[in-house]
Structure 1
Amino acid sequence: MQSTSHGNSTTIELPFKRPFDWTRLLAFIGGRAAAGVESVEGGVYRRAIEWHGDEGTVEVRPHERKHRLVVTVDGDAQRHADELAEPLARMFDLHADPRRIASVLSRDPLLAPLVDASPGLRVPGAWSGFELVVRTIVGQQVSVKGASTIMGRIVQRAGRMIDGHSHEATAWRFPTPAELAAADLDKIGMPTKRVEAVQRFANAVSTGALPLDEPDADAEALKRDLLALPGIGPWTVGYIAMRALRDPDAWPDADLVLMQAIARRNPALLKPAQQRAHIERWRPWRAYAAVHLWNGVAMETGAARGG
Structure 2
Amino acid sequence: MTCTPSPATREDRARFTLACPQPYDWLHLERFLADHASPGVEAVTPGRYARTFALDGHRGTLAVTNEADALSVRIRGLGSDDHENILTRVRAMFDLDADPRAVAAGLGRDPFTAALVGRRPGLRMPGAFDGFELAVRAILGQQVSVAAATRLAGRLVAGFGTPLDGETCGNEPGLTHLFPTPEQLVDAEISLVLNMPRARGRAIQGLAAAMLATPDLFAPGGELDATVARLKALPGIGDWTAHYVAMRALAQADAFPAGDVGLMRALDAGDGRPSRLALLDRAAAWRPWRAYAAIHLWAEDAARRMP
Would the TM-score normalized by the shorter structure come out above 0.5?
Answer: yes
Paired AA for residue 144 in structure 1: V
Matched, 1:7 2:13: no
Q: CA deviation at 1:273?
A: 2.9
Matched ranges for 1:86-165 at <5 A:
86-164=88-166, 165=169
Paired AA for residue 62 in structure 2: V
- Equivalence for 2:276: 272
Matched, 1:179 2:184: yes
Q: CA deviation at 1:173?
A: 0.5
1:80-127 CA-partner distances (Å, limit 9, x unpaired): 223322221111111111122112213322223321221010010010
Among 202, 210, 233, the alignment partner of 1:196 is: 202
Paired AA for residue 228 in structure 2: K
Instruction: Provide the C-alpha distance between the structure 2 equivalents of 1:161 and 1:107, rounded to a whole number of angstroms.
Output: 50
SS at match of 2:124: coil
- Equivalence for 2:74: 72
Is contact 2:207–2:235 with CA below 8 Å preserved after alignment? no
* Structure 2 residues not aligned, in runs of 5+: none
Matched, 1:300 2:304: yes
Instruction: Provide the C-alpha distance between the structure 2 equivalents of 1:88 and 1:31, rounded to a whole number of angstroms.
Output: 18
Is contact 1:150–1:189 with CA below 8 Å preserved after alignment? no
SS at match of 1:29: helix
Is contact 2:125–2:295 with CA below 8 Å preserved after alignment? yes
Aligned-CA RMSD value: 2.1
Instruction: Provide the C-alpha distance between the structure 2 equivalents of 1:84 and 1:220, rounded to a whole number of angstroms.
Output: 28
Paired AA for residue 300 in structure 2: G
Among 238, 251, 255, the alignment partner of 2:260 is: 255
Paired AA for residue 175 in structure 1: P
SS at match of 2:194: coil
Is contact 2:161–2:180 with CA below 8 Å preserved after alignment? yes
TM score, norm. by length of structure 2: 0.90
Instruction: Provide the C-alpha distance between the structure 2 equivalents of 1:243 and 1:55, rounded to a whole number of angstroms.
Output: 24
Paired AA for residue 294 in structure 1: W
Q: 1:214 to 1:241 in 2, by over 3 A?
A: closer
Number of residue equivalences: 299
**Range 49-58 or range 14-23, more displaced:** 49-58
1:136-187 CA-partner distances (Å, limit 9, x unpaired): 0110010000000001000011101102331241221011101011222214
**Identity over aligned pairs, percent:** 38
Among 206, 212, 221, the alignment partner of 1:206 is: 212
SS at match of 1:289: helix
Q: CA deviation at 1:19?
A: 0.2
SS at match of 2:44: strand
Matched, 1:232 2:237: yes
TM score, norm. by length of structure 1: 0.90
- Equivalence for 1:43: 47
* Structure 1 residues not aligned, in runs of 5+: none
Q: CA deviation at 1:222?
A: 4.5
Q: 1:292 to 1:266 in 2, by over 3 A?
A: farther
